[in-house]
A and B are shown apart, each in its own frame.
Chain A
Amino acid sequence: MTEAEADFLDRAFAALADPTRRAILARLALGEASVTELAEPFQMSLPAVSKHLKVLERAGLITRSSQAQWRYCRLEPAPLKEVADWVGAYKQFWDESYERLDEYLEDLKKKSEQKGVEQ
């Protein structure tokens, strides 16, 4: 992993750590939305929502277009996939390690049984 990729993951995970921002992403997964539309379900002020959107934008998870006074937000799927891949690799590491531990424990059990017979 390069430093840039690590920086990206740091920002992406920090952005995803907040439940409101995850809810915003979930909404954007359904399609583009304006800031006003995004603010509605959260009973938050527009500036508060804008702050969250800035964090998501800096993390590269969304983009914002400025068409006249309406700023439409849309989800960027590629970075989210990178986050999912990283989490997948982490799970894979432990899943494989523990499969190997299963096998190793069987070896250890057999060895201790043999020892028992010898004694």
Chain B
Amino acid sequence: MNATVGKLNVETPDDRPEIIMTRTFHAPRDLVFKAHSSCEHVSRWWGPRRHAFASCDMDFVEGGAWRYVLRDADGTEYPFKGEFREIQAPERLTWTFIYDVEPFNQQDGVVETILFREENGETTLTVTSFCPSF
């Protein structure tokens, strides 16, 4: 299955529990990678519009933990957490992703790998989310 939402392409392969998203940015790879690497940057773009960061903790090293709490306009909070498994600046980033609310935080998280590829000054992200529980 393949679908495009805005500039985002989403693919779900038939034979494995994965979601693959691709998205191109008009910016060099170093900058796109940097935007993923600290709370200062991530809190400026991560999450839907009308959601603000209530808190952000992030130890951007391999094995380091992260936890973001988003807050919507009604004041409802959405906590997410995980750990960084692999950091190869500026081309590859693997982290685990868990919605930190019961019962979701009782299971293994989703493992996400982000590949950053640069071509002609544009950077394409390929985000592969592997869902072991499906």
Number of interface residues of B (CB under 8 A): 33
Interface of A, helix, strand, loop or mixed by DSSP: helix
A34-42, A52-60, A65-73, A94-102 - interface stretch? A94-102
CA distance A103 to B7 in the complex (A): 14
Contact of B6 among A13, A99, A106, A108 (CB under 8 A): A99
Contact of B35 among A17, A90, A96, A108 (CB under 8 A): A108
The answer to the question of A117 belonging to the interface, with a C-beta cut-off of 8 Å to chain B, is no
Contact of B47 among A93, A104, A106 (CB under 8 A): A93
Chain A residue with the shortest CB-CB distance to B16: A17
Q: Which B residues touch A98, using CB under 8 A?
A: 6-8, 23, 25, 45
A-B contact pairs, 21 of them (CB 8 A): A13-B134, A14-B134, A17-B17, A90-B19, A91-B8, A92-B48, A94-B8, A94-B127, A95-B5, A95-B7, A96-B47, A96-B49, A97-B47, A98-B23, A98-B25, A100-B49, A104-B45, A105-B26, A106-B27, A107-B44, A108-B27
Q: Digit string of A79-119 for contact with B (CB within 8 Å is 1, else 0)?
A: 00000000000111111111111111111110010000000
The answer to the question of A6 belonging to the interface, with a C-beta cut-off of 8 Å to chain B, is yes
- Taking residues whose C-beta sits less than 8 angstroms from the other chain, chain A's interface range is 20 to 34
